[in-house]
Amino acid sequence: MKLINHWIDGVEASGAPGRTGPVYNPATGKQTAEVAFATAEDVDLTVRTAKQAFETWRDSALARRQSIMFAYRELVARHRMDLARALTAEHGKTLDDALGEVQRGLEVIEFACNIAHLLKGDYSEQVSTSVDTYTIRQPLGVVAGITPFNFPAMVPMWMYPIAIACGNTFVLKPSEKDPSPSQLSAELLAEAGLPDGVFNIVHGDKVAVDALLEHPDVAAISFVGSTPIARYIYTEGTAAGKRVQALGGAKNHMIVLPDADMDLAADSAVSAGYGSAGERCMAISVVVTVGDAADRLIPKMQERIAKLKIAPGEEEGAEMGPLITAEHRDRVAGYVDAGEAEGATIVTDGRGMRVEGYEDGFFIGATLFDNVTPAMSIYKDEIFGPVLSTVRVEHYEDAIKLINDNPYGNGTAVFTNDGGAARKFQNEIQVGMVGINVPIPVPLSFYSFGGWKDSIFGSHAIYGPEGVHFYTRQKVVISRWPDPIHRGVDLGFPQHG
Ligand code: NAD
């Protein structure tokens, strides 16, 4: 069985012998590799390596950092199919979707290619006689990234290109469920000319995460994953004096008003609900229909769901692949059972679906519920699978209130042809990322990504300008140089120039 090792100081490293975890191909249900699980000692060694590399990397010329990022950008673009295949083999998403994931990661690398411009400070001349003031942004030191299974290439790329370009060194703890895309990224970074020790990977579970949280030489942690773990990372990390950004889970609602283009709304709900088998933090999981919209929308959705091609991700024309593990598939099926028992109407039932030749794969079909109420578990919990709930409300105000009362606030969308209704939505909705006739409003790399409420802990959104701010500290310099005038001792605050 292939063993996936850590990546420390520019080479593959086995770490202390001991625990490992299984990696599966979700389409076949077969184990394809073992991944090493780091001990606290492995983490300590990695952080110390990164700390040493920081001493020189922090002073590397901006032009050099940019040229390494440009080289890395070219390599990722050239190897996009290799990354996508590695992704599909361990995550299960379709190859087409995996290529899209690599593309969105690539865009953050492109953003980081412009780091010299992004790190420019402010300058005010003559704030007092012969005195100038300016700001510089400096890297933090060793920063860590802890990432989820659902975007094993893109989410790490939301973090390390910017962190590294800002002059930090990086330790990545990827999801233990699909570790290979990170490994390939490490090889490409080395090929691009990144010095050893600047980018490192420790694989593993809670043991590795806790060791990073406790390590005194880790200055900051970026986390993306589920809300309970995000809250834990934020609480523990900040208590240990670290800067932390922790992005959590979601329950994304899409409102459909009666005047909406119902074909567009049906296409969008089905794409955003079942794309990547619902394993996206920006997936739509609740469709809120206002007035009589449901009666026109649901038959159109049903038609489209019936035509979805559910197949192994690498198969030509596959639209939806399997879920990540057998346990997760069973958990999702359990939610469908619960929704039925709690009285929701099943419009299409994804349970019991089989893909011929892949009977051991972790597949489940697409489920659509109607007449869901906020008290039901399928409404309250993040299912993270291909299950869409329809909640019918009478008035637009009720739909807005439903979203604003929800503890999550990652993404949301409204479908309407009424500009005033759309403007009201963008103004009143308590959610960080808002789509108007766009179901998955993921910001481009030159904006920043972040939800509100229980979908984020910490004050910085991820990547884009906020990423640069997260990975740097501002220093203000007040300089008098040269200053021929000496005023002598003055214990007061200066009142004039
Ligand atoms: P997860 O929270 O289970 O795991 C995320 C990371 O935390 C992994 O690296 C994992 O090894 C580690 N981890 C798991 N349990 C831990 C524990 N008890 N202590 C310390 N570390 C632990 O999430 P997941 O299942 O990999 O990913 C799916 C979740 O991520 C969903 O909730 C989804 O909404 C969320 N997500 C959010 C965003 C966002 O941008 N807000 C993006 C992608 C995914």
Do 197 and 322 belong to one domain?
no
Residue to probe by mutation, ligand 1, list 93, 175, 214, most atoms within 8 Å of CB = 175
List the strands of the sheet with 131-139, edge to edge: 123-128, 131-139, 472-480
- Measured in Å, residue 174 CA sits from the centre of ligand 1 at 10
- Exposure string for 407-444, b = 16+ CB within 10 A, e = fewer: ebbbbbbbbbeeeebbebbeeebebbbbbeebbbbeee
Q: Specify the pLDDT at position 119.
A: 97
User: Cβ(52)–Cβ(8) under 8 Å?
Assistant: no
CATH number of the domain that 431 lies in?
Answer: 3.40.309.10
- Exposure string for 327-348, b = 16+ CB within 10 A, e = fewer: ebbeebbebbeebbeeebeebb
| Residue % of the chain over a pLDDT of 70 | 99
Do 271 and 160 belong to one domain?
no
Nearest to 379 by CA among 335, 428, 417, 419: 335
User: Cβ(231)–Cβ(248) under 8 Å?
Assistant: yes
Nearest to 165 by CA among 246, 52, 56, 68: 68
Residue 485 has pLDDT above 70, yes or no: no
pLDDT tens digits, 70-104: 999 999 999 999 999 999 999 999 999 999 999 99
Do 256 and 385 belong to one domain?
yes
Residue 371 domain flag: yes
| Residue numbers annotated as active site | 281
Residue 191 domain flag: yes
Q: Which of the 8 DSSP states describes residue 160?
A: H
- Measured in Å, residue 146 CA sits from the centre of ligand 1 at 8
| Residue % of the chain over a pLDDT of 90 | 95
Q: Three-state DSSP class for 145?
A: strand
Ligand 1 neighbour 250 (Cβ under 6 A): yes
Residue 275 domain flag: yes
- Measured in Å, residue 281 CA sits from the centre of ligand 1 at 10
Domain that holds residue 131: 2-248+455-477
Ligand 1 neighbour 249 (Cβ under 6 A): yes
Q: How large is the angle between the packed helices 227-239 and 206-214, nearest 10 degrees?
A: 30
Residue 432 domain flag: yes
Q: CA separation (Å) from 454 to 219, 225, 264, 283, 437? A: 24, 12, 30, 16, 24
CATH number of the domain that 175 lies in?
Answer: 3.40.605.10
Nearest to 110 by CA among 73, 83, 80, 74: 73
Ligand 1 neighbour 226 (Cβ under 6 A): yes
Query: Atom 42 in ligand 1: which residue has the minimum CA distance?
Result: 281
Name the β-bridge partners of 8: 11
Ligand 1 neighbour 408 (Cβ under 6 A): no
What is the average pLDDT value for the chain, to the nearest integer? 97
Count of helix runs (H) and strand runs (E) in the chain: 16, 23
Residue to probe by mutation, ligand 1, list 178, 209, 285, 327, most atoms within 8 Å of CB = 209
Residue 221 domain flag: yes
What Rg value do the Cα atoms of the chain yield, rounded?
A: 25
Query: Atom 34 in ligand 1: which residue has the minimum CA distance?
Result: 249
pLDDT tens digits, 183-237: 999 999 999 999 999 999 999 999 999 999 999 999 999 999 999 999 999 999 9
Do 67 and 204 belong to one domain?
yes
Do 234 and 105 belong to one domain?
yes
**What is the position in ligand 1's atom list of the atom closest to the CA of 175?**
9
Residue 321 has pLDDT above 80, yes or no: yes
Residue to probe by mutation, ligand 1, list 202, 221, 245, 281, most atoms within 8 Å of CB = 281
Residue 112 domain flag: yes
Nearest to 69 by CA among 200, 198, 196, 194: 194
Q: Three-state DSSP class for 491?
A: coil
Do 219 and 308 belong to one domain?
no
Q: How far apart are CA 235 and CA 228, in angstroms?
A: 11
What kind and span of H or E run contains 201? strand 199-201
Do 233 and 275 belong to one domain?
no
List, in order, residues 6 or more apart from 437 with CB less than 8 Å away: 260, 261, 264, 268, 413, 414, 415, 416, 422
Ligand 1 neighbour 204 (Cβ under 6 A): no
Q: How large is the angle between the packed helices 40-57 and 206-214, nearest 10 degrees?
A: 50
Q: Specify the pLDDT at position 284.
A: 98
Do 419 and 459 belong to one domain?
no
Do 95 and 116 belong to one domain?
yes
Query: Atom 21 in ligand 1: which residue has the minimum CA distance?
Result: 206
User: Cβ(203)–Cβ(38) under 8 Å?
Assistant: yes
Do 103 and 126 belong to one domain?
yes
Name the β-bridge partners of 7: 12, 201
> What six digits make up the tokens of 288?
């809120």
Ligand 1 neighbour 432 (Cβ under 6 A): no
Query: Atom 40 in ligand 1: which residue has the minimum CA distance?
Result: 247
Q: How confident is the model at residue 497 (pLDDT cuts 50, 70, 90)?
A: low
Ligand 1 neighbour 369 (Cβ under 6 A): no
Residue 442 domain flag: no
Ligand 1 neighbour 279 (Cβ under 6 A): no
**What is the position in ligand 1's atom list of the atom closest to the CA of 249?**
34
pLDDT tens digits, 232-282: 999 999 999 999 999 999 999 999 999 999 999 999 999 999 999 999 999
Do 306 and 418 belong to one domain?
yes
Residue 481 has pLDDT above 90, yes or no: no
pLDDT tens digits, 418-467: 999 999 999 999 999 999 999 999 999 999 999 999 999 999 999 999 99
Q: Specify the pLDDT at position 16.
A: 85
Look at the chain and report how many structural domains it folds into.
2
Residue 53 domain flag: yes
Q: How far apart are CA 304 and CA 270, in angstroms?
A: 7
Q: How confident is the model at residue 495 (pLDDT cuts 50, 70, 90)?
A: confident
Do 184 and 294 belong to one domain?
no
pLDDT tens digits, 111-136: 999 999 999 999 999 998 889 999 99
Q: How confident is the model at residue 490 (pLDDT cuts 50, 70, 90)?
A: confident
pLDDT tens digits, 148-174: 999 999 999 999 999 999 999 999 999
